[in-house]
Amino acid sequence: MEESKAFSLEDVRITDDRSTFSNYKEVKTNKIHFDWFVNFETSQLEGKVTLKMTAITDIQTVILDSWQLNIINIPGATFKLGEEKDIGSKLEVILDSKVTSGSNFDLEIEYTTLPNSSALSWLQPDQTLDKEHPFLFSQSQSIYARCVFPCQDTPSIKTTYTGKTKVKSPLTVLLSADVVSEETTEDGFKITEFDMPMPIPSYLVSICAGNLSFRKIGERCGVYAEESYVDTCAEEFEDMEKFLKVGEEILFEYPLKNYFVVILPPSFPYGGMENPVTTFATPTIVVGDKSAVNVVCHEITHSWTGNYLTNSNWEDFWLNEGFTRYIEAKMVHRLYGENAHKLHLKKGLSSLQGVLQNKTGKGAGCVLVPELNEHQNPDDVLGSTQYEKGYYFLYYLELLLTEEKFLEFIRNYLKTREGGNISTREFVAELIDFIKSNYDEAKSQEILSMIDLKEWLYSGELPPVIHDSDFEEWKQMEVIFDQFKDGKDPANLDIFKENVGLLIAFTQKIMLNEEHFDSNILAKIDEALHISENKNCEVLVGWYYAALKLDYSVIHDQIYKFLGEVGRMKFVLPLFKALTEVNKEKAESIYDDNKSFYHAICKGRIQKILA
């Protein structure tokens, strides 16, 4: 490893939350109670939220984040709603009397959500698998909790919460909390009470409602899905309890009581969302051979990195996702071996190369700690960079300190903050302290001199150090890739049958190097590997991208159908990016045909690509 510039805390920019209107530095929320009626007839949540707050300074005004909400009444206060911007509106609550510093008070807000909420997807029965009942799910990360309830919508504010929901039977409501009680009334409504004892940020408050069935898996785990699908899902995720135990071996005891996965309808825009107790997941991870269940490893890991300890603001998002990718890789290593870990590194690097080549629909640039503008939506700049470059940075630190020492640092780092928040600057300060207290002065200086903070944190390029993670099967895959590229007939194609991860890497590599291929070569590859028949969307996305760009037209109808059946942005956005470049009219037509299917967050991102 080459030495780099001197390591200094002064190189680390102080970050702040520019995506909230709330005056969270003057008053803070400690606990929340929700009382919601899930009204499928109007596509609205109706009810009230009670914020238990503490004044940090003398105040008479509480400013909350609100977006697409109908505020009805706030007892003991008057209110005014500001002009709507790209991140919602400022809800200014003027209390009837001043509250002195250190005093506690309750703010009860009666309101409804709006049917066009950016956070809530209200699905008709024909948009579900069983096609009998409607379905609701929320997606609040990063700044869409304010579309579900008025709040201090910043990760810096973490609260416990309780909830009470009412919905027409036989539907079930799930929040990101433990179920405390459930009853069905004589007039056919299901009343459920919930409790979340661990402080969490607003973006982790979630709700889903539908005709859900449950299967228990192991001691603490289980899966929810529609009845016709739940057994398939339970079989796919039968190792969940094992994943949880491996996470505990690497870190420490799981901080909650239960861990459940809810398989949502296919319009869910992410692979998974780490809502506490009830992880939301896309059906695209249920492929029949467990090859996509690493998403569950990732979301389980968030229980510690992201949920238990949370980034202070969205500029520090890599502290959630980079750490989660790093611990996920440790789990993969222990569960599946060294080569699986190396493949993790390789695919992460390919992902960053895709960002730099602007093939992901997110724009180019690999800045780990981006600087947001005032009132900017974090979704404009956050993406796979915070996952993969963050992971690479932490793995580099492990190589400098040793795995044993670095995991010791991470455990201490998580525990000493006891479920609070962390900024990049605070992380670096703790890292410096750990290095100096565990090594003599000469060794400390040697280690610190090897870390070029400006390059890692603020450069828009690939990681300054690329780890050597070659292994035999990877080398074989690269030989096969080169042979296909050169028009030859490769042998040893069985390596792809034995390792789906290699096939994913292979199609990613085609996507990143499409200029070296044409439709005839793709046809030859398809004849040999039957990629177009594969059911794993991770395999298909790179393949479909190349097929669009290189006019492998025999599967274009298949791709168009895929875009109407899958709403996961990881797959949808690159394909719209490719299709827009080769046939914008067709891209617009497919979007128009399917826009009622896509989640609002996904719709917004597709619209930016089409523009």
Residue 391 designated active-site: no
469 token code pair: 């993670």
The per-residue pLDDT for 161 is 99
Band (pLDDT 50/70/90 cuts) for residue 359 is low
Residue 533 has pLDDT above 80, yes or no: yes
Residue 500 has pLDDT above 50, yes or no: yes
Band (pLDDT 50/70/90 cuts) for residue 457 is very high
Residue 299 designated active-site: yes
For the stretch 308-356, pLDDT in tens is 999 999 999 999 999 999 999 999 999 999 999 999 899 999 889 888 8
> Which entry of 92, 226, 236, 299 is annotated as an active-site residue?
299
The bridge status of strand 27-39 relative to strand 158-168 is parallel
Band (pLDDT 50/70/90 cuts) for residue 63 is very high
Residue 553 has pLDDT above 50, yes or no: yes
Q: Which helix (H) or strand (E) holds 440?
A: none
Domains of the chain listed by start with CATH number: 9-15+313-458 (1.10.390.10), 20-210 (2.60.40.1730), 214-312 (3.30.2010.30), 472-610 (1.25.40.320)
Q: Which of 96-105, 145-154, 343-352, 580-589 has the lowest mean pLDDT?
A: 343-352
Of 142, 159, 136, residue with least CA distance to 37: 136
The per-residue pLDDT for 3 is 40
Residue 78 has pLDDT above 90, yes or no: yes
Residue 472 has pLDDT above 60, yes or no: yes
Question: Residue 237, SS3?
Answer: coil
Give the list of residues 6+ apart from residue 524 with CB closer than 8 angstroms, or none.
484, 487, 489
504 token code pair: 């994913």
Sign of CA dihedral 468, 472, 478, 479: positive
Query: Known binding site: residues?
Result: 139-141, 269-274, 298, 302, 321, 568-570
Instruction: Report the chain's C-alpha Rg in angstroms.
Output: 24
For the stretch 98-113, pLDDT in tens is 999 999 999 999 999 9
Residue 122 has pLDDT above 60, yes or no: yes
| 124-135 average pLDDT score | 93
> Which entry of 203, 387, 396, 560 is annotated as an active-site residue?
387
Band (pLDDT 50/70/90 cuts) for residue 364 is low
The per-residue pLDDT for 363 is 56
Query: Known binding site for a peptide: residues?
Result: 139-141, 269-274, 568-570
Band (pLDDT 50/70/90 cuts) for residue 468 is confident
Measured between alpha carbons, how far is 28 from 352 in angstroms, rounded to an integer?
37
Residue 355 DSSP one-character state: H
Residue 88 DSSP one-character state: B
Percent of the chain with pLDDT over 90: 91
Measured between alpha carbons, how far is 431 from 416 in angstroms, rounded to an integer?
13
| 368-378 average pLDDT score | 94
Of 512, 495, 511, residue with least CA distance to 503: 495
CA angle 179-184-190, nearest 5°?
60
Residue 433 burial (C-beta neighbours within 10 Å; 0-12, 13-18, 19+):
exposed
**Cβ-contact 309, 422 below 8 angstroms:** yes
Average confidence score pLDDT of the chain: 95
Report which of residues 166 and 86 the model is more confident about. 166
Cis? peptide before 170, omega within 30° of 0 = yes
The per-residue pLDDT for 2 is 41
For the stretch 6-41, pLDDT in tens is 577 888 999 999 999 999 999 999 999 999 999 999
The per-residue pLDDT for 362 is 60
Query: Known binding site for Zn(2+): residues?
Result: 298, 302, 321
Residue 263 has pLDDT above 90, yes or no: yes
**Cβ-contact 363, 382 below 8 angstroms:** no
For the stretch 189-243, pLDDT in tens is 999 999 999 999 999 999 999 999 999 999 999 999 999 999 999 999 999 999 9
Band (pLDDT 50/70/90 cuts) for residue 1 is very low
Distances (CA, A) of 381 to 176, 304, 358, 363: 27, 24, 13, 8
